[in-house]
Chains A and B, each alone.
Chain A
Amino acid sequence: MTSTTASARSRPRRTLAPYAFLAPFLIPFVLFTLVPVGYAFWQSLHKTARTGGTFGKTRTVFAWLEQYGRVLGEGYLADSLLRVLGFALVQIPVMLLLALVLALLLDSAVARAKRFFRLVYFVPYGIPGVVAALMWAFLYDPRLSPVVDLLRSAGIHADLLGPDVILWSIANVVTWTYTGYNMLIIYAALQAVPADIGEAARMDGASGWTIALRVKIPIIRPALVLTGVFSIIGSFQLFTEPQVLRSISTSVTSTYTPNIAAYSLASGDSYSEAAALSVVLAVVTFVLSSAFLRFTTRSQG
């Protein structure tokens, strides 16, 4: 009798157990990830109105899509989105190609001192984005920069902080920081490629490069897609690097990237417009990364 009651009692306890294990994560997840997304959307449908003139109390009133009209009507949104799009189209292929080549070399028999190189390439990822940007800011700063000095002694007068160049100066910081991280993702995937597949190709007379292009890269495709998606998201969220360079360069305006624009709006107390901008940015990012995913997975089949 005791045994039946015990099992009857343990059955519901067991079905409740997974919920009990999930709850401590799900509660903060809902509060600090899902609710903010919903809150931003709700806020974006409002506007601040004042009662009784300039010095009256402020209150938020429902405004339908007025903030979206305002955000989409201003030129800065298109400008900043096009800027990060151009950034992504150049910086992501350069960075991922570099990461892929380094990973293939580390995985091949050609390279030497692999352990050393792997460690060195991973160093920048250990440096916070802000500190990396600070370092490069000093290296770009004409008052201090040894790089500008070297270029000048070579007869090149480069203004690395000028309006034409600064986007690529930022791209350099991002490439420097994240190449090693992406290389490690790709390298980890390469390590999981079964050795006998490469051997079979080699037996058929394929060269090292042919094996890399025709055998290894198709197998590690999921890892490449993953790095691509994360890089696209990162590019559209670009904030830290330009924000740090802003303090030494006037070329980075208050609406340079969509996130800097949202930050500027929020510091000017235009919360609803900032929220609308965040929502637009999230939608654009989502659409583009989904399109990338669809494109890369369809052309596989």
Chain B
Amino acid sequence: MSLLTRTEGAHHPAAPNRRRRGAGIAPTVAVTFMAAVACYMLLPVYWLFVSSTKSQGDLVATPGFVTAEWNLGDNLSSLFAQQDGIYLRWLLNSLLYAGAGAAVATLLAAAAGYALAKYAFRGREAVFSVVLGGVLVPATALALPLFLMFAELDATNTFWAVFLPSVVSPFGVYLSRVFAAASVPDEVMEAARLDGAGEFRIFRTMALRLMAPALVTVFLFQFVVIWNNFLLPLIMLQDERLYPVTLGLFTWQTQTSRLPELQTLTIVGALVSVVPIVLTFLLLQRHWRAGLAAGAVKS
């Protein structure tokens, strides 16, 4: 549409009228509104940063949106010193759950999506329908039954209880199917077959490579799903050393009424856990839009 306004003046005699209206009050209102929403989105993050730089005393005593004495360094060192450095362990746990979980989930989803897109076989539509149904099953609804199952096997409170359920990404299969259909040409597969390549080799050496940009999107989606999952680790884990960082921060926050000094640690811990993720997100933003476009248009 921006292209349209730029070209319209050249083609259309009546355009200047509308252009003036467009250039008058509308942009001011629009930009003011957008800036107000931007403030709403950023204010809590700004507060988090400002509060992270305060000592516990200043946190309670000074106004929330105003900086006080710079105490970020001390806060960081007490964050990493608390309970023998358990915070760092939580961060690494989160990276392991989300990083490894999303990597495995992406690989499984890529293979399944590729099979659904590129082969005609019995039961294909049935399988695809069931997988699509799986997209609509929210993680919170599965957490409790998963706990009951793992309890039956005496496997709760283990790494695997949180890790294994997270390697399943029906949405990833759906996206992979859309992308495989679009990016892996039948002719290339036929040619490879004539050259004597096996089916697995075609997938490994050609299809995976052709689908690679899309698989980054699948990986990111699943990474965020696992990183944000709260109920499953909350239900499954009792051992603090297995916690992901979100659950760790939550337990600190629940103790703040008894131990007020944990307030500062929770705030600094939240900031430290958020910054790398937000940065990665913003840098990889175009992969999001690619995935969302495929998801939105095809439905």
B40 and A176 contact, CB distance less than 8 A: yes
A186-202 Cβ-contact flags toward B at 8 Å (1 or 0)? 11110110010011001
Are the C-beta atoms of A43 and B145 separated by less than 8 Å? yes
Query: Does B86 touch A at the CB level, under 8 Å?
Result: no
Cβ-based interface call for B263 (8 A):
yes
Q: How many cross-chain pairs have Cβ atoms below 8 Å apart between A and B? A: 294
Known: A109-B22, A136-B44, A237-B141. A192 touches B297 (CB 8 A): yes
Q: Which residues of A contact B168 (CB under 8 A)?
A: 25, 28-29, 32-33
Binary CB contact string for chain A from 209 to 253 against chain B (1 if under 8 A, 0 otherwise):
001000000001011011001000110010110011001100000
Which residues of B have CB within 8 Å of A17?
115, 119, 199-200
A-contact bits for B89-122, CB 8 A (1 contact / 0 none): 0000000000000000001110110111001010
A111 to B1 CA separation, bound complex (whole angstroms):
11
Shortest CB-to-CB span from A133 to chain B, Å, is: 9
A126-B274, A188-B296 as given contacts; A176 in contact with B146, CB under 8 Å: no
A117 to B42, CA, bound (A): 11
Contact (Cβ within 8 A) A134 B253: yes
A8 to chain B, nearest CB (A): 14
Closest B residue to A216 by CB, please name it. B1
- Name the distance in Å between B286's Cβ and chain A's nearest Cβ: 11
Separation of A143 and B41 alpha carbons in the complex (Å): 23
Given the complex, which residues of A lie within 8 Å of B8, measured CB to CB? 199, 202
Q: Which residues of A contact B45 (CB under 8 A)?
A: 123, 127, 135
Are B253 and A137 in touch, CB under 8 angstroms?
yes
- Which residue in chain B gives the minimum CB-CB distance to A267? B235
Pair A146/B111 contact, Cβ less than 8 Å: no
Chain A contact residues: helix, strand, loop or mixed: helix
Contact of A40 with B148 at beta-carbon distance under 8 Å, contacts A18-B115, A237-B141 already known: yes
Contact, CB under 8 Å: A259 / B282: no
* Chain A CB within 8 A of B16 CB: no
Contact at B108–A25, with CB atoms within 8 Å? yes
B142, A33: Cβ atoms closer than 8 Å? yes
Tell me which residues across on chain A come within 8 A of B215, comparing CB atoms.
none
B interface, by DSSP: helix, strand, loop or mixed?
A: helix
**A93, B290: Cα distance in complex, Å:** 26
**Contact at B295–A37, with CB atoms within 8 Å?**
no
A128 touching B228 in the complex, CB below 8 Å, given contacts A107-B1, A119-B285 = yes
A144 pairs with B60, CB closer than 8 A: yes
Given the complex, which residues of B lie within 8 Å of A36, measured CB to CB? 142, 145-146, 148-149
Say whether A39 faces chain B, with CB atoms less than 8 Å apart.
Answer: yes
CB of A125 within 8 A of chain B?
A: yes
Q: Are A184 and B108 in contact (CB under 8 A)?
A: no
**One of A20, A121, A229 near B38 (C-beta < 8 A):** A121
**Contact residues in B for A222 (Cβ distance below 8 Å):** 296-297, 299
B199 touches A14 (CB 8 A): yes
Which of A49-57, A71-79, A271-279 is near enough to bind chain B? A271-279
Which partner residue on chain A sits nearest B109 by CB separation? A25
- Residues from chain A with a CB closer than 8 A to the CB of B53 are none
Determine whether the beta carbon of B137 is less than 8 Å from that of A37.
yes
- Check if A33 sits within 8 Å of B149, measured CB to CB: no
Enumerate chain B residues within 8 angstroms of A274, measured Cβ to Cβ: 144
Closest to A271 in B: B148
Query: Given A17-B119, A119-B282, are A111 and B296 also a contact pair (CB < 8 Å)?
Result: no
Flag if A15 contacts B121 (CB, 8 Å). yes
- Measured in the bound complex, the distance between the Cα atoms of B294 and A226 in whole Å is 12
Contact A202 B253 (CB under 8 A): no
Which chain A residues (244-301) contact chain B, with CB distance < 8 Å?
244, 247-248, 259, 262-263, 266, 271, 274-275, 278, 281-282, 285-286, 289
* Residues in B neighbouring A208, C-beta threshold 8 A: 22, 26
Contacts of A131 in B (CB 8 A): 246, 249, 270, 273-274
Contact code string B122-140 (vs A, CB < 8 Å = 1, else 0) = 0010010011001011101
What are the residues of chain A within 8 A of B293 when measuring CB–CB?
188-189, 191-192
Instruction: Say whether B241 faces chain A, with CB atoms less than 8 Å apart.
Output: no
Q: A130-B230, A176-B41 are in contact. Are A149 and B63 (CB under 8 A)?
A: yes
In the complex, whether A154 has a CB less than 8 A from a CB of chain B is: no
Q: Is the CB of A110 within 8 A of B27?
A: yes
A87 located at the interface, meaning its Cβ lies under 8 Å from any Cβ of chain B in the complex:
no
Mask of B1-19 contacts with A, CB within 8 angstroms, 1/0: 1111110100010100010
B65 interfacial contact with A, CB 8 Å: yes
Complex contact B115–A22 (CB within 8 A): yes
Q: Would A130 and B167 count as touching, CB distance under 8 A?
A: no
Q: How far is the CB of B273 from chain A (nearest CB, A)?
A: 6
Which residues of chain B are near A156, meaning CB under 8 Å?
none
Contact with A along B187-210 (1 / 0, CB 8 A): 000000100001110010000000
**Whole-angstrom distance between the Cβ of A26 and the nearest chain B Cβ:** 7
Minimum CB–CB distance from A54 to chain B (whole Å) comes to 22
* Known contacts A137-B253, A139-B44: A110-B30 contact under CB 8 Å: yes
Query: Chain A residues near B234 (CB, 8 Å)?
Result: 243, 263
Contact A33 B137 (CB under 8 A): yes
11 residue pairs of the A-B complex, CB under 8 angstroms, read: A28-B165, A125-B281, A126-B224, A131-B274, A184-B289, A192-B297, A226-B296, A240-B230, A259-B140, A278-B141, A286-B136
Q: A24-B112, A128-B273, A223-B296 are in contact. List 9 more A-B contacts (CB 8 A).
A: A25-B173, A40-B148, A109-B1, A124-B41, A139-B47, A139-B64, A149-B63, A188-B297, A286-B136
